[in-house]
């Protein structure tokens, strides 16, 4: 098959690869988690990261949503996130 730069560009524009954008977004989520919880999001209980990305939520909003909905019953999570004891 002959290489055609124009058709490849058209295909990429018609079907953009969101995986790189998702990876960059998730890296920001991990930096936020490291700052507040001293561990990455992969070390925390599961959250719907891809759904948050597709919503689209910012990384900050996604972590807040995870704190409120997925990690609600984890000891100390809300205190680390909000910075206060309830």
The pLDDT of residue 19: 84
Residue 54 lies in a domain: yes
The pLDDT of residue 16: 63
Question: pTM, whole model, 2 decimals?
Answer: 0.76
Q: How many domains does the chain have?
A: 1
Residue 12 lies in a domain: no
Please provide the DSSP assignment of 12-53 as one string: HHHS--HHHHHHHHHHHHHHHHHHHHSS-GGGSSP--HHHHH
The pLDDT of residue 15: 46
**Run of H or E residues at 57:** none
pLDDT averaged over 10-residue windows placed end to end, the chain, 86 residues: 47 63 94 96 94 94 96 92 73
Range of the domain at 41: 19-82
């Amino acid at each position: 098959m002959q290489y055609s730069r124009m058709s490849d560009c058209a295909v990429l524009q018609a079907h953009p690869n969101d995986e790189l954008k998702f990876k960059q977004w998730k890296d920001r989520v991990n930096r936020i988690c490291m700052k507040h919880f001293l561990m990455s999001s992969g070390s925390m209980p599961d959250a719907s990261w891809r759904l948050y990305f597709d919503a689209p939520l910012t990384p900050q909003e996604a972590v807040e949503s995870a704190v409120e909905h997925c990690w609600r019953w984890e000891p100390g999570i809300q205190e680390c996130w909000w910075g206060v004891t309830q």
